[in-house]
Amino acid sequence: MILIPDAVFDDDHALEQKAAAPLKLVVRRAAQADEIPDEECQTAEAVIGYHRLAYDAALCRRLTRCRILVRAGVGSDNVDLAAFAARGIPVCNVPDYGIAEVADHTIALLLALARGIVEFHRGIAADPVRGWDWRRWPPPVRRLKGQLLLLIGFGTIGRAVARRAQALDLAVGYYDPLVPRDAANATGIRAYDDLDAALGEADIVSLHAMLTPASRNLIDRRRIAAMKAGAILLNTARGGLVDLDALAEGLQSGRIGAAGLDVLPAEPPDPAHLLFAALRQDAPWLRGRLVVTPHAAFLSADAIADMRRQAVETAVAYLRDGSLRHCVNREQLKL
């Protein structure tokens, strides 16, 4: 039996049922682990997890027959990888869905800021006559051709962003200690070994890294101080990569020219936080310099269907013949 404890979709899960066949699929929409019946925990051979539950050591112990946990999505920061590894349970994710969508969204955030799209639209919506004035252009508006885009993380999404950026005549570099230096040599993309040095050169910084204990608050006060003055920061990866207080200070001081965010450390955000209070009040210091979307970069009907199907297919493949794809706790399992 395959168990989805914390499903987030309200349909009949026919797509997952088809992918799981002939195995039985049980779907729950639990918000707390204690809402899952013990019988289902003790019967499930595979678990497809979303983001509503913490897949911690306590829940792991309840999954007595579980052979694999698949996180239906990219991030696995709500899973205690070591706890599952200690019981010999591989944890896998679904990293190869929505790649085009996230890459498109990243470039869309950049263009919205660099062309003043949101601020111009707001001005015209408020007053079509007075707002029809290109001289109201916000500070981030700039020529993109020739500017340096630094990608922090050069996996499939980072590379998709690089291809789109090159089509816009941006210079592209990347920092990713896990990727060989020659990974992009043929395409004219520069590899950086020193993140601080790279930040000091980049006009635009775009995050495409996984969230781990080592990468949490990767962009903090020290790193913001290392950034080129007026740089644009984009984050369509994981919210915890950025210290939101430091970002607010960086925007307020002008050290950061603008930011485009699809993910936040806490979602939804605290309305009282400096950044969102200023956004809501249309504070002059932030006007036209921040675009935020609600963790929607991955979004399309096709991408969601891919994610749901692939999560189940990953579990079924392992149960059927031990095929293991996209395992994120492989090092702890010592495979």
- The catalytic residue among 61, 222, 267, 280 is 267
The answer to whether the beta carbons of residues 333 and 85 sit under 8 Å apart is yes
Q: Under CATH, what is the fold of the domain 99-292?
A: Rossmann fold (3.40.50)
121 tagged catalytic: no
- The pLDDT tens digits of the residues spanning 205-233 come to 999 998 888 999 999 999 999 999 999 99
- The catalytic residue among 52, 221, 295, 330 is 295
326 tagged catalytic: no
- The pLDDT tens digits of the residues spanning 169-209 come to 999 999 999 888 776 555 789 999 999 999 999 999 999 99
Q: Is domain 2-97+301-333 annotated with CATH 3.40.50.720?
A: yes
201 tagged catalytic: no
Residue where the block lists tokens 């291809």: 163
Nearest to 309 by CA among 115, 104, 94: 94
pTM summary value: 0.87
d(CA 163, CA 32): 42
The answer to whether the beta carbons of residues 218 and 245 sit under 8 Å apart is no
d(CA 254, CA 252): 5
Domains 2-97+301-333 and 99-292 share a fold: yes
Which tokens sit at 156?
Answer: 């499939």
- Long-range CB pairs of 77-83 (<8 Å, 24+ gap) are 77/211, 77/212, 77/238, 77/240, 78/49, 78/51, 78/53, 78/54, 79/49, 79/55, 80/55, 80/56, 81/328, 81/329, 81/332, 82/329, 82/332, 83/56, 83/57
pLDDT of residue 166: 97
Domain ranges, ordered by start, for the chain: 2-97+301-333, 99-292
Neighbours of 41 (CB within 10 A): 19
